[in-house]
Structure 1
């Protein structure tokens, strides 16, 4: 082999070796770049996943707090309504019990007698002035008295009717029955221009105006 051929062969081999080394280096660099890119992509995906997880967690916490807050408000509203309902129920029951108590008291012969005689026992009416005392029909029935005068002494309130009738007639006040009077008595003077209402409803209303605010104040300390 000539020296020229030998030189050419070595040159070609050297070129091949250089190209191989350059290729290997380029491949190594490319691989390194791919790995770096993959690592960066993985880091970005992890970051995105963490951000998304944080967002979902925050939304879930906010929704849970909203639900808790709504639940608290609903419970507070329900409790308030329950307390108000209880107070109203107790107040109505108090009014009902008071009305019943007043009515029972005024149906008592002794109580009604004292009530009527207290008013009837005052001074005589002025000359020409007439008045009426309206009593419950179950206490005095004028038709019965006209038909049977003995009923005045045989009814539930004989002493009341006898004493009241005499006392009131002396003062210009007539005794009448009235369907609108359930218990108690209502006095009318001057053809109804002046009225003194001592019926169970009027007395109960007066007592309620005085007692119910105090009863509600008492409830405030029990049901609040």
Structure 2
């Protein structure tokens, strides 16, 4: 091999070596870049997954919290409604007891009969009869049965001593009401016109006027 040939071979070897080194470095750089990109992608995927998981946890927590708040609100509303219903029921019972106790007063019943029957008799058509239906509690069951045929004579009539004979002769009659009746009922024209002054009717009328104000007071107490 001549000297020139030897130099050419050495140059070729050197170039191949340099090219190989350069290619190796380039490949290494490419691999490193790919590895970095893959690592970055993995980190981004992991970060996104972690964020998604955190968001899901937050959403679930918000859902549970909202459900809990709604359940609490519902429970509180139901409790308030039950309390209102209970208090109003107690008010109804209390008013009913008070009215029943008042209507058990014989003097009050006498005054009611005289006042209302007198007004109805004055306003009734000629020939109309005003029927006063008294509570059975005025007499015992035996007395009511004994006087069933002649209710105007005897103790029922005597019960309203202030009811004058003229008023009785003028078309006012007395009858015993159904068992359990408290208070009186008055009828004209065979029931065409009726005034209900029993404990149930009077209590209902009182409650109709009392309940709106009572509820307003109750609402104020609850909100405060």
Unaligned runs of at least 5 residues, structure 2: none
Change (3 A) 1:139 1:190: same
1:131 aligns with 2:133: no
Q: Deviations over 1:112-148 (max 9, x none)?
A: 233223334559657533221101122134433479x
User: TM-score by structure 1 length?
Assistant: 0.79
Change (3 A) 1:127 1:49: closer
Q: How many residues align?
A: 216
Q: Is the 8 A contact 1:121 1:167 kept in 2?
A: no
The equivalences for 1:1-224 within 5 A come to 4-120=1-117, 128-140=127-139, 141-145=143-147, 152=155, 160-164=159-163, 166=165, 168-179=167-178, 182-224=181-223
- SS at 1:223's partner residue? helix
1:159 CA drift (Å): 6.6
How far, CA to CA, are the matches of 1:115 and 1:160 in structure 2? 13
- SS at 1:138's partner residue? helix
User: TM-score by structure 2 length?
Assistant: 0.79
Unaligned runs of at least 5 residues, structure 1: none
Deviating above 6 A after TM superposition, structure 1's stretches of 4 or more consecutive aligned residues are none
Change (3 A) 1:97 1:115: same
1:196 CA drift (Å): 2.0
User: Aligned-residue CA RMSD in angstroms?
Assistant: 3.2
Of structures 1 and 2, the larger Rg is shown by: 1
1:207 CA drift (Å): 0.9
